[in-house]
Amino acid sequence: LILPFSSWCEDSAIKTFEKKQDVMHKMLEEDQALLKNALVNNQPPPAERQQEKPKWGTNLSEEEQKEAQTLFQLYGYNVYLSDRLPLDRALPDTRERGCLTKTYPKDLPNIGVVLIYLNEALSILKRAIRSIVNRTPKHLLKEIIMVDDNSSNDDLKEPLDQYIKTIETENPSLKFIRVRHNEQQGLAFARASGWRAATADVVAILDAHIEVHELWAEPLLTQIKKDRTVITSPVFDRVNFDDLSVIQYLPSSHAFDWALWCMYESFYPEYYELKDSSLPGKSPSVMGIIVADRKFLGEIGVLDEGMKVYGGENVELGIRVWTCGGSIEVVPCSKIAHIERNHKPYMPDLSTAMKRNALRVAEVWMDEYKHNVNLAWNIPFKDHGIDIGDVSERKKLRERLKCKPFKWYLENVYPKLDPLDNLVGYGGMKNLDAEGDMKCIDQGPQPGHTPIAYHCYYYGPQQVFYRTNGEVYIGGIKSHKYNDNRCLTDQGNKETEPGLFYCKEAMQKGMSIHWDFSQGKEMKNRETKRCLEIHKNKLVIQECTGQRWEIQHVIKDF
Ligand SMILES: [Mn+2]
């Protein structure tokens, strides 16, 4: 099994995670439906649903398609096509219009590029190197540092050495530095390894499945030359994993939610008042590709090498840079094309590592806000049994650098992030008295507005939050002020189906969204005095018969 070294919190990772939860939900649902079908109609289950066909290439014979498919399964992207595309293929110019006329100073700091990889396809690596060599001015490109996190692929030995030799002969001023780990160390360590080996003024830590665009380095170096405490990120375009074509992404800020999943978000409102989309914009975090003053990055502690696999290390860097005296900028005129893989093969590992890393970030950096991470992951505040490793060194670092509190970060850098205050309980909500197998509240089919009773499995769709004001959210809680939660509602009149609507919308429509509940007691609507109960495996609102509910985690007695 190859663990593709995919190295940042790209939005597809988020999508995949959500999809996983949805799929889990659907599977259970389909199980039920099939079972019912089989019982009622004595019919076989329907054939597997048709998936959209990936584009491996045009006019491929059946044999070639098979080869393409096999390679895809190994790497998560279309290696068959990559092996056949020119290494110096042209990329579409996707820069903002304002970038086309910009000029940059001649005397910029020089740059060392770090490429980290684990069993990357050889042609993908070659193309990354080729693009960097061709599209970075010779007098600025000091070194390329290749960090191999213990790959096992044979073509990353001799054949890669050969290619690097060719490039070295062609470019006598360019130095290649090779770093190889004897065992797999994970992303944060690999990046830090590359940083340690670097000697240039500025270090650019990149994924290896990228191609840089023309003029990618100059805009970043210009910002860093102006202010050495700025950590910069280019804007990534997406390279499709199947046809390897480039899809333009627009500049936006790199943000995260309380689970520390990354997401794109708009810049601060002040940014848009300037009406120039070629200007760098401040960002609360960074997705993972970072370009920084080498020494400054060292001064503030490079990366938390106690992070495992990947996930969370970029958020840790974001919080640390801002609170310890630096800042982060996304620079629209610098563009890098990045392959978004199909992540599927190792999703289980991803969320386990992610959870652990997120708790680590919370423990070191989030002060009194750290429990927001537990809430987002549905983990108890105490005794959760997840080993986050030794954080004493990182805590010392924070003290030594006299970093500002997380509260300052929330107020000044990331005010859109909404602390999950005023909660009394969270997690699965189970009925203690109902007859039948469906005992848990579930958000029901999506999109939709009807929560249902379902088998208890406590994934996202069953995560319930009970707020001190009596609101009950089903299917998760929102991390950002710009998103509304979905409230359990009594739609009133003779309607016995419960509703699930955005809380503001429900209020406007005059639905009742406040519930009186305490652990092990009934759940009664404050206005209509009717109860949420389960009748014949159906979630209903009816005259109270005394059915009791229990929520998985209690924050404070209620
Ligand atoms: Mn990547």
CB count within 10 Å of CB 386 equals: 15
pLDDT for 161: 97
- pLDDT bucket at 545, cuts 50 / 70 / 90: very high
- Ligand 1 center to residue 418 CA distance, Å? 28
Span 291-339, pLDDT tens digits: 999 999 999 999 999 998 778 999 999 999 999 999 999 999 999 999 9
pLDDT for 52: 62
pLDDT for 20: 46
- Ligand 1 center to residue 339 CA distance, Å? 6
Topology at the third CATH level for domain 351-405:
Helicase, Ruva Protein; domain 3 (1.10.8)
Q: Identify any residues that bridge with 531 across adjacent strands, giving them in sequence order.
A: 524, 542
- Ligand 1 center to residue 360 CA distance, Å? 22
- pLDDT bucket at 492, cuts 50 / 70 / 90: confident
Higher pLDDT, 258 or 6: 258
320 vs 14, 119, 294, 366, CA distance in Å? 23, 31, 16, 11
- Ligand 1 center to residue 394 CA distance, Å? 26
- pLDDT bucket at 528, cuts 50 / 70 / 90: very high
Give the Cα separation of 306 and 126 in Å (integer): 30
Give the Cα separation of 238 and 94 in Å (integer): 11
pLDDT for 349: 59
Going by the DSSP 8-state scheme, the letter that residue 118 receives in this structure is: S
pLDDT for 40: 42
- Ligand 1 center to residue 99 CA distance, Å? 25
Q: Is 307 left (phi over 0), alpha (psi -120 to 50) or beta?
A: beta
Give the Cα separation of 347 and 16 in Å (integer): 8
- Ligand 1 center to residue 538 CA distance, Å? 44
pLDDT for 303: 96
Summary mean pLDDT of the chain: 89
Q: Which CATH architecture has domain 423-554?
A: Trefoil (2.80)
- Ligand 1 center to residue 104 CA distance, Å? 28
pLDDT for 12: 42
- Ligand 1 center to residue 39 CA distance, Å? 46
State pTM to two decimals.
Answer: 0.88
pLDDT at 47 over 80: no
Q: Above pLDDT 90, what percent of the chain?
A: 80
Tokens matching residue 74: 């190994």
pLDDT at 186 over 90: no
Tokens matching residue 183: 């065992």
- Ligand 1 center to residue 549 CA distance, Å? 44
Q: Do domains 351-405 and 423-554 have the same CATH topology?
A: no
- Ligand 1 center to residue 117 CA distance, Å? 10
pLDDT at 29 over 90: no
pLDDT at 513 over 80: yes
- pLDDT bucket at 277, cuts 50 / 70 / 90: very high
Give the Cα separation of 348 and 360 in Å (integer): 19
pLDDT for 59: 87
- Ligand 1 center to residue 5 CA distance, Å? 7
Give the Cα separation of 286 and 194 in Å (integer): 18
Mean predicted confidence (pLDDT) in 201-215? 97
- Ligand 1 center to residue 373 CA distance, Å? 24
- pLDDT bucket at 138, cuts 50 / 70 / 90: very high
Mean predicted confidence (pLDDT) in 126-135? 98
CATH superfamily entry for domain 82-345: Spore Coat Polysaccharide Biosynthesis Protein SpsA; Chain A (3.90.550.10)
Amino acid at 90: A
- Ligand 1 center to residue 188 CA distance, Å? 13
Least confident of 17-26, 159-168, 241-250, 255-264: 17-26
pLDDT at 444 over 60: yes
Q: What does the domain layout of the chain look like in residue ranges?
A: 82-345, 351-405, 423-554
- Ligand 1 center to residue 289 CA distance, Å? 9
pLDDT for 353: 85
- Ligand 1 center to residue 126 CA distance, Å? 16
101 vs 95, 317, 340, 558, CA distance in Å? 11, 33, 30, 63
pLDDT for 351: 79
- Ligand 1 center to residue 143 CA distance, Å? 21
Mean predicted confidence (pLDDT) in 178-195? 93
Question: How many residues are recorded in the chain?
Answer: 558
446 vs 25, 301, 344, CA distance in Å? 10, 44, 22
